[in-house]
Each structure stands twice: as structure tokens, then as C-alpha cells.
Structure 1
Amino acid sequence: MVRECGEPGTVRPGGRTARVRAAVLEAAGDALAEQGFDRLDLADIARRAEVGKTTVYRRWGTVAGLVADLLGDMAEQSLPRTDTGSLAGDLKANAELVRRTLADPRQGALFKAVIAAATTDGRTAEALRRFYETRVAEWAPCVTLAAERGEVPPGTDAAEVIRAVSAPLYYRLLTTGTPPDEAAAERAAEAAVTAARAGCFAAPGGDAATGPGPTT
């Protein structure tokens, strides 16, 4: 379906336009990781991407519009969920993916900058919410399948289980400045599995939906 009045940067073009978009998003990610959100400048990003300033201003309009497109692209390009056949294996794979992302010098710095910006910029906050909504939806089926196998109670909130895996890893990065290590990722996955099996994420009576649900 073609969106008629999409926001800047939401159209998915092909050919040369796609190459320009890829170059600009790459440059924006580099600049964001190096300088933070407050120092982003569309002219500087155009220079880094080796494209005309008018192209960047016409297509994205604002820094917030460009960051929103960057996050959307990152969500689409992220690795698909792993299916190991067990909830413990799936959540460990999820935790390890999050850990590797946050431990990466560029990606870790980029997420810290975007999270900081989201506290004061509404459009960035909405883009970040959509990013995590996409990623939670990608991984939520592993909990739904676990419920079908009888590993967790019926009605287990799949989205909350996935959030419970990544939350302590982000908390560690943001409160200590230190990326989570493999042991932290394993603990996060094991804690989420234990809580899910104990029914901590199940609604009374097992009537809650097991899909991704809201991401508030």
C-alpha cells in the first residue's frame, strides 16, 4: 500500500534515490553516534554523505525527520528472531542480539543519543517507540509458541516478556555507561524465562492476548 501523505523520509524509493537515502542515513547514524542529537546538522550530514544540501532539506526537512527515518530503517534491517525450539533458547538469542548491539561502539552510542533526545523531542520519542514496537513484534511470537508448547501459562503477555529481557541491558548501559556483557545478557534471559514460567506475565484466568500488544 502506498502512503499518500507520508512524513518526510517515509517513502521507500528505488534506484539512485535509494542509494542517496542509504548514504544519508549512514552519515546520520555516524554523526549521531559521534556528536549526539543536539549537534546534528543537516548540512553536515549532506557533506558526509556527499549529496546536495537541498536534497537533504527537501527530503527530510528537519533533524527529527531524518532521525525518524533512520530508526525506521534500523528496525527494518535488524536481524529476524531466532527460533531455537525453546523459550530459554529464544530469549537468550534475543538478549545476545541486544547485548551485541549495545556493545558495538557505533550502535551503543547511537542508541544512547536517541534515547536522550527522546526525553525532550516528541517526534524522536515517537520514532523510538515505533522502532521498539517493530522489534517487540518481531520477537513476540517466540513467547506465543512457548505458550502453545506449554512452557508458559496461557495468556502470557508476549510483549512484556520480550521487554523484560532487554530492559535490564539498557538500564545497565544508561546508568553505568558500561555495555552489558555476555553474563548480563544470560542473566536477563534466564530471569525473564523464570518469571514467565511462574506466571508473572500472565493475566488472571489466562485471558490476556499473547501477541505484541501495546508498547507504552
Structure 2
Amino acid sequence: MWSGQPPARPVGRGAKVRAAVHAATLAELVDKGYASMTVENVAQRAGVHKTTVYRRWKDRESLLTDALAEHMATDIPVPDTGSIETDLRALARSIVQALTSPAGQAILAAMFTGAAHLPQIAAARRQVFDDRLARAEPVLRRAIERGQLPADIDPAEVLKTLAAPIYLRLLITAEPVDETTADQAVRVTLAAVRAGALRPGRHDEPVGE
């Protein structure tokens, strides 16, 4: 999906061009890394002229920011299995699968190492995570309506607690990340929920109170 030859014929206008350029951007990121990615190579891979790219994106950074935001906003589906435990498990496993794929690894490298110093990338990272939290919150809302979770939980804190062990292993400790990691994250998250540790404002309270 992320490699191969550019299309033999130019792609059409509008949404098709945007999708082709986004796919080519991620493919270049996977194949060559952020440092070697160029607008010219992205255009060639997408089957469009570089002026077509520059009409929509002013530079490599804005192109990368847009492609990352689009990809990461849609790459993880929001489950609805009828059970909060299986919903969270499916969500955590999909996060692991997305982030350990070649594309996911290249995106992490760009967002946290190669291009991390760029203000545009920092803003995109915040936008991506905010969007992901917003998309996943219905999982928690449905569980509250079913009576599977207390009504006073903070959905954002629940989802951050779920994702934290996965990102810790990927970005800090370099430990293996697989479905076992995802399942353990679910157990820890649900234990914290049931202990009342993830209510709004709870993280601001002094330890022991």
C-alpha cells in the first residue's frame, strides 16, 4: 500500500488529488523518512505535477501536517460491541495495530523525532489527539448509558489512561507492543475507573486524599 510505482496516468481533480497526494506523502514518509521527503517526490508518486501540490500546500511541512491529521483521524475505528470491556479491548488493539504498522512507525518518527521541533507538527499532534479523543468518547458515553460505567467519569482521562502504556512502550522504553499490551491497558484502565480515580478533577487532588 505504501510503496510501489507512481500511477501511470494523472489522477483527477479535487478530492481524488488530495487523497492521492496524502497517500503519496505517507508512502514517502515510510520509504524515505521525513528528512528525505520532498514535495517533488510526493508529486511524482501521486501522479500529479508539483505545481498542483504547491497550489494546495505551501511547503513540505504543511503537506505533512495535513496528511498526518487526515490519516490519524480515520485510521482507528470506534467499536460498539455492547460491552465496555470488549469495546476498550478492540479500541486498544486497533491503536496497537495502527501504531506498529510501517505507516504508524513512520508517523510516530515524524511527529516525535524528525519533525517534532516544527510548530506546525506540534499543533498537528495536539489536533490529532484531540480529534481522536472526541471520536472515541462515544464508547464511554454508551457504556454510561448502559450502566456499565459510573456517570461521573472523565472520558478524556479514561482514554488517556488506556493509551498511555502503549505510547510509553513505543516512545520511551522500546518494549514489545502487541495485543497483550493492549489487553493489560484495558485491565488497568477499568481498575482505575472502578476505583474512582478517573473522575473530573481527580488528577488534581493530593495523593492519599
TM surpasses 0.5: yes
Change (3 A) 1:68 1:196: same
- The 1-side partners of 2:195 and 2:149 are apart by 8
The question of 1:46 aligning with 2:40 is answered: no
- The 1-side partners of 2:190 and 2:24 are apart by 38
Aligned to 1:163: 160
Aligned with 2:31 (options 30, 34, 37)? 34
Aligned to 1:109: 106
Aligned to 2:122: 125
Q: Which runs of 5+ in 1 are unaligned?
A: 1-14, 206-216
Aligned to 1:12: none
Aligned with 2:71 (options 71, 74, 83)? 74
Q: Could you list the per-position Cα deviations for residues 137-183 of structure 1 after superposition, in whole angstroms to 9, with x for gaps in the alignment? A: 11112212223333333321101111111121122112244551111
Q: Which runs of 4+ in 1 moved over 6 A?
A: none
Contact 1:103/1:179, CA 8 A, preserved across alignment? no
Change (3 A) 1:119 1:72: closer
Cα RMSD (Å): 2.1
Tell me the CA shift for residue 108 of structure 1. Answer: 2.1
SS of residue in 1 equivalent to 2:191: helix
TM-score normalised per structure 1: 0.80
Identity of aligned residues (%): 37
SS of residue in 2 equivalent to 1:130: helix
Q: Which runs of 5+ in 2 are unaligned?
A: 1-11, 203-209
TM-score normalised per structure 2: 0.82
Aligned to 1:7: none
Contact 1:33/1:109, CA 8 A, preserved across alignment? yes
Aligned with 1:142 (options 139, 142, 157)? 139
More moved, 176-185 vs 66-75: 176-185
Higher relative contact order (CA 8 A, sep 6+): 1
